[in-house]
Amino acid sequence: MKNSQATIQGFDQISLRIGDVVFIRIDNFIFNRVAKATLSWTNHVGIIIGFKHNEYWVAESTIPFSKIIPLSKFIARSKKDSFAIARLKQPLSNTQKINIMHAAKKRMGILYDTGFNLWSGRQFCSRFVYEVIKEATNIELGEIESFRKLLHKNPEYGLGFWKIWFLGFIPWQRLTVTPASQFNSKVIELVYDYRYQE
């Protein structure tokens, strides 16, 4: 597939839905570090909240703040236009879909949290998706885990970057949730898969 517009054409035979979760691979230094640390191809995630102007729309937490953008633009930011779309195994009611839209929209404009703290006043992508789905459906997508547990899953990956990132002190007890844990969650199933593999 040559570009995101070509990629979008692949959806002709797939009916996407509000609540579908979109995983991509952003190719920059910090996001690539997240992918390597979590042993995953994906490092960013958003959620579909509607269809308008012949386009699906994705809500996301990103730098500098959370926003809603067309799915085509969301995918265009991914390395080689790679992406995967997953759906909750539990079918959503119309009320739950409306709740997803409301939960996402009320989190718009919140600054991005570069400390990936589940309890901070800011947001990051996987926390955003986790909270929207949890609030709207009471389903938990992804694993809440400490930095200690997360960073020790991949012992061969050096901690030097994270020590620098956190100014010399890794917050080992800080809780977070990652795109990797969401992609591997048993509560979803893939409905489209065009992943970039290194």
Kindly report, residue by residue over 3-19, the tens digit of the pLDDT.
444 445 555 446 899 99
Query: What CATH number does residue 161 fall under?
Result: 3.90.1720.10
Domain that holds residue 159: 4-194
In this prediction, residue 100 has a pLDDT band, given cuts at 50, 70 and 90, of: very high
Is 190 or 11 the better-scoring residue by pLDDT? 190
Please report, as a single letter, which amino acid is at residue 167: L
pLDDT-wise least confident of 88-97, 133-142, 187-196: 187-196
Average pLDDT over residues 153-158: 75
For 23-53, the pLDDT digits (tens) are 999 998 888 888 888 889 999 999 999 999 8
| Prior bond of 91 cis (ω within 30°) | no
Q: Has residue 185 got a pLDDT over 80?
A: yes
Distance CA 81, CA 156 (A): 29
Alpha-carbon 72 to chain mean position: 16
Q: Has residue 89 got a pLDDT over 60?
A: yes
Is 30 or 2 the better-scoring residue by pLDDT? 30
The answer to whether 47 and 21 have CB atoms below 8 angstroms apart is: yes
Q: CB neighbours (10 Å) of residue 172?
A: 12
Q: What is the CB-side half-sphere exposure of residue 178 using CA atoms within 13 A?
A: 24
Beta-strand runs (E) in 98-162: 145-146
Q: CB neighbours (10 Å) of residue 185?
A: 18
Q: Has residue 158 got a pLDDT over 80?
A: no
In this predicted structure, what is the pLDDT of residue 6? 41
Q: pTM higher than 0.75 for the full model?
A: yes
Looking at the structure of the chain, the number of domains it has is 1
Three-state secondary-structure class, residue 47: strand
In this predicted structure, what is the pLDDT of residue 81? 81
Q: Has residue 1 got a pLDDT over 80?
A: no
